[in-house]
Structure 1
Amino acid sequence: MPEIVQFTAPGTVELVSTDAAPLVPGSVRIATWYSGISAGTELTAYRGTNPYLTSTWDAQRRLFVPGEPSFGYPVQGWGYSEVGQIVEVADDVADVGVGEVVHGIWGHRSDAVMPASAIAWRVLPRDVDPVLGTFARVGSIALNAVLAADVRLGEKVAIFGQGVIGLLATRLATLSGGRVLAVDTQPRRLEIATAFGAVEVVDAMRPGGAGELIRELTGGGADSAIELSGADRALHEAVRSVVVEGLVAASGFYQGGASNLRLGEEFHHNRVRIVASQISGVPVGLGGRWDQARLVRTVMDQISSGAVDASALVSDVVDADAVAGVFERLDSGDPEILQAVLRFDAAPERQR
C-alpha cells in the first residue's frame, strides 16, 4: 500500500499508509526512489510555526488574514525534491515511457500520479546519479536568490547561511563571477563553502557582528548580500554588510517577528535596498527571459556537468520510515546533518 510522510502534530512526523491515486488521461504513475528534505520550509510544519497553520491565506487578495487556518494537522504531501521511476502511463501519453527516471515535485510519498506534461522535461540522464535529482528545486531557489542579488563578474557578495541552499548559492554565485564571502555559525559548513569557491568565510557569531567584518574585508562593504538562514539577526547583519545603496536579497523563510532587524540604523542611513526572493517568481527584470523551468534546467545542467558538486552536500540517505529521527536531528540543530534524503522501497537495491 502506498505510504506518505505526515506531520501529525507539532513535533510529530511519521510514515503512514495512504490510498493510491487513480491514473487519469494525460498522466503517469511514478514509484518514488528518493525525496529530499528541505529543512527550512519543512521545519515550519514540524514546529507548527508556518503561517498557513495559524491564519488564513486569502489567495485572491494575497494576504494572510485572521480566521480559520488554511490547513491544519495532520499535514500530508510536503516535500518538493523527489526522484522516481515511471511505472505506468495513461494510454494517451507518448512523450515519456515506463522505466524512465524523472525528478519533480510530488511530496514525500511512495507513489504519485503526475501530469505527463509536468514530467516529460524532467527526465534524468542515465549517467547521472538519481539522488542528484533531489537538488532540482533547492538549487532553483539558490539560483533565484543569486539572480535577485544581481551578482556580476568581479562583484563581492556576502551569503548568509551556509545550509544546503546557501552552499548551492555560494557555488552558483562563484560560477557567475562573484567573489563570495560565506557566513555561518558552523565550521564544517564554512569548510564546504571554501571548497565551493568562497574567497572568505566569516563566523556569524564573531564579536561586533559579521557585517562589520565584511565591510573591513571588502574595503567598504559587499556589493550585495543574500540572506538564506531565515534569521532576522542575520538579515540585519546582511544589511550592515553592503555598500551604500547596496542590495540585499532576503531569501530565508522568516518566522514570527523581527526584533533584531533595526531599520533605523544602517538600512536607513545607507539607503539599502531589500528585495524578497521566493521561488514562486523570478526577479521582475528577468521575467521576459527566465521562469521556473529555466531555473531548474540551468541548475540541473550545472549539477549534471559536475560544475556543482551536489553530492558533497548529501549527509544522510535513510529509509523513509526513519523520518522521525531525521526531523529530531534537524530540529535540534545537529551540525552533522546537511542534506537528508528519504529512500523509499522502490529504490534500486544497488543504491540501498
Structure 2
Amino acid sequence: MPEVVSFAAPYDVALVPCDPQPLVPGSVRLRTWYSGISAGTELTAYRGSNPYLTRTWDPERRLFVEGDPTFGYPVQGWGYSEVGEVVEVAADVGSPAVGQVVHGIWGHRSEAVVSAAAVRDRVWNADDAISGTFARVGSIALNAVLAAEAQLGDRVAVFGQGVIGLLATRLAVVSGAEVVAVDTVPERLEAARAMGAAEVVIASVDGGAGAAIRAWCDGGVDSAIELSGNDRALHEAVRSVVVDGTVVASGFYQGGAEHLRLGEEFHHNRVRIVASQIAGTPVRLGPRWDQPRLVRTFMEQVRRGRVDARSLVTDVVEAADVAAVFERLDRGDPSILQAVLRFPAASGTT
C-alpha cells in the first residue's frame, strides 16, 4: 500500500496509507527514494499559517480574498524535492526507462505516477541520489541571484543562511560576486564561509546588520537577497544597499511587516525592492529563462562540483518519523540544516 505524508491539522503530521495511482498513457510510475523538506514553505502547512489555508485565492484576479480557504486539512502530498526510481512506464513511453533514477516534484509520498515529459530530462546519478533532492530549492536560490543581477565585481549581502540562503551565497560567489552572509546562528555562518562568503555578520534581534554591512564594504552592497522570511531582516537588507541598490525579497513572509519602515532608508536611498518567487523568472531576462532552465542550470553546477549540495544534509530520517522532524524544525532546532525523508525503496542507496 503506498503511503503519503499528511498534515491532518496544525501540528499534526504523519505518514498514512493512500490509494495507488493508475498508470495512464504518457506517464511513469516512480518509487520514491528521498524527499527533501523545504522547511520555510512546509512549516506554513504544519503551523496552519499558509494563506491558502485561511483565504480564497482568486486565480483570475490573482488576489487572496475573503471566503472559504482554497484548500483545507488534511493537506497531503506536500513537498517538491523528490528523487526516485522509475519502476513502470506506460506503453507509449520511450523514456525515461525502468530502472533509471530521476529527480522531480511529486510530494512526500512513497510512490507516484507522473507525466513522463516532466522527468524525461531529469535523470540523475543513482550513486549520489540524495543530491537530486536539491533541484527545486536550488532553482529558487538561483532565481533570487538572477533577480539581484549579481555579477563579477559586485558585493552582495545574503540574509538568512538556511539551505536556500546557503545555496544563494554559493551561486552568487560562482557568479563572481563578493558575498557577505547574515544569520543569527553561528554554525550557519560557518557553513556560509565554506560556501565562499567573504564576510559574515551575526544578526541581532534588535537589528544592526545593515550598518555592519555598510561599514564592511564602505557605503553599502550593490544588492541584497533576503531569504529568511523575517520582516526585520528585510528592513536590514534595505539598510544595507547603496543608493539605487536592489533588495530581492525571496523569503516567504507570513503576516504583517511591522519592522519594515519605508519612510527611512528605503525612501531616502531610493531602494528598489523586487519579489522573487519560483513561479516566474526575472522579467528582464525575457523568454530565455524559465523554470526548467533554472533547474538545469543549478543541477549542472552540482554535477560539476561547483555547488556541494550534499554537504548541507544534516538529517536523513525514515519517512515514518516525519512527525519528530517537523517538531524539531518548528522549535528551531539549530542542528538541522537540510532534513531529508528516506522511503523504504531507498534501502542500500546513498
CA separation in 2, counterparts of 1:346 and 1:197? 35
Deviations 1:293-339 (A, max 9, x none): 11101111111111101111000001000000100000000000000
Cα distance between partner residues in 1 of 2:303 and 2:20: 32
* 1:236-251 equivalence runs, <5 A: 236-251=235-250
- Find the residue that maps to 2:263 and give its secondary structure: coil
Residues 250 and 208 (structure 1 numbering): CA distance in 2 closer, same or farther, change over 3 Å? closer
Amino acid at match of 1:248: V
CA distance in 2, matches of 1:166, 1:245: 23
SS class of match (1:129): helix
1:231-283 CA-partner distances (Å, limit 9, x unpaired): 00000000000001100000000000000000111101111000000000000
AA aligned to 1:64 is F
Q: How has the CA–CA distance of structure 1 residues 33 and 274 changed in structure 2, closer, same or farther, with 3 Å as cutoff?
A: same
Aligned to 2:162: 163
Contact 2:226–2:250 (CA<8 Å) still a contact in 1? yes
The aligned residue for residue 305 of structure 1 is 304
CA distance in 2, matches of 1:117, 1:279: 20
Cα offsets for 1:131-172 (capped at 9, x unmatched): 000000000000000000010111100000000000000000
Alignment of 1:1-352 (within 5 A): 1-126=1-126, 128-205=127-204, 209-351=208-350
- Residues 99 and 208 (structure 1), Cα distance of their counterparts in 2 relative to 1, 3 Å cut: closer
Cα 1:308–1:52 change in 2 (3 A) is same
Q: Which runs of 4+ in 1 moved over 3 A?
A: none
Question: Counterpart of 2:345 in 1: which secondary structure?
Answer: coil
**C-alpha distance in structure 1 between counterparts of 2:206 and 2:72, whole Å:** 41
Deviations 1:163-200 (A, max 9, x none): 00000000000000010000000000000100101000
Equivalent AA in structure 2 for residue 52 of structure 1: Y
Q: TM-score, normalised by structure 2?
A: 0.99
Unmatched tracts of structure 1, length 5 or more: none
SS of match in other structure, 2:150: coil
SS at match of 2:335: coil
Partners of 2:251 and 2:235 lie apart in 1 by: 13
Report the secondary structure of 1:88's partner residue: strand
1:96 shift after superposition: 1.4
TM, length-normalised to structure 1: 0.98
- Deviation at residue 125 of structure 1 after TM alignment: 3.2
Distance in 2 (CA, whole Å) between partners of 1:97 and 1:193 is 38
Partner letter of residue 95 of structure 2? D
- Number of residue pairs the alignment of both structures matches: 350
Supply the distance in 2 between the matched residues of 1:77 and 1:86 (Cα, whole angstroms): 19
Q: Distance in 1 between matches of 2:261 and 2:158?
A: 19
